[in-house]
Amino acid sequence: MIALKRLLRVRFRQKKKKPEFRRHCWDRKLKLREESWRRPRGIDNKLRLQYGGKWSGRVLVKVGFRAPKAVRYLHPSGYEDVLVYNVKDLEKLDPKRHAVRVASCVGMKKRIEIEMKASELGFKILNPKVR
């Protein structure tokens, strides 16, 4: 558990240093402004060839920017984030490992039931409506 908390802190520090990966020529074309990353594949592409100069500020996505494997895909609290649609979904989960996020399509009546049952079982609720 101590190692997990340390790795979560490491991931937090890494994410602060990680650059914002932008698609090549995103500043020139409006349709490329979306947040999707595409690797440059052209034979003469300067970004793919990693030339200096005006391309030096832009960074390609590389494996070294990944988080430590033990804390990858975890919520910052250290729990696995699980989407729950009904009370029956809670029975399959472990309160020590999982944190509950109630789906947005769930109505208020069922949401209250899910949150009551989750608090009885000792789950952390990531998006509580009922205080």
What was the pLDDT predicted at 90? Answer: 95
Give the structural domain span for 7: 2-65
Q: Are residues 60 and 84 in the same domain?
A: no
Domain-located, residue 109: yes
Report which of 93, 96, 98 is spatially closest to residue 75, judged by C-alpha positions: 98
Tell me the HSE value of 87 on the side-chain side, using a 13 A CA sphere: 12
Q: Tell me which of 130 and 31 has the higher pLDDT.
A: 31
Domain-located, residue 74: no
Q: Are residues 59 and 88 in the same domain?
A: no
Report which of 75, 77, 83, 119 is spatially closest to residue 100, judged by C-alpha positions: 83
Q: Are residues 8 and 59 in the same domain?
A: yes
Q: Are residues 11 and 54 in the same domain?
A: yes
Beta-strand pair 80-84/124-125? unpaired
Q: Are residues 91 and 41 in the same domain?
A: no
Domain-located, residue 106: yes
Number of domains in the chain: 2
Q: Are residues 92 and 58 in the same domain?
A: no
Q: How far apart are CA 8 and CA 75, in angstroms?
A: 9
Domain-located, residue 115: yes
> Does residue 12 have a pLDDT over 80?
yes
> Does residue 97 have a pLDDT over 70?
yes
Domain-located, residue 130: no
Q: Tell me which of 119 and 45 has the higher pLDDT.
A: 119
Mean pLDDT of the chain: 90
| H or E element that contains 5 | helix 2-17
Domain-located, residue 75: no
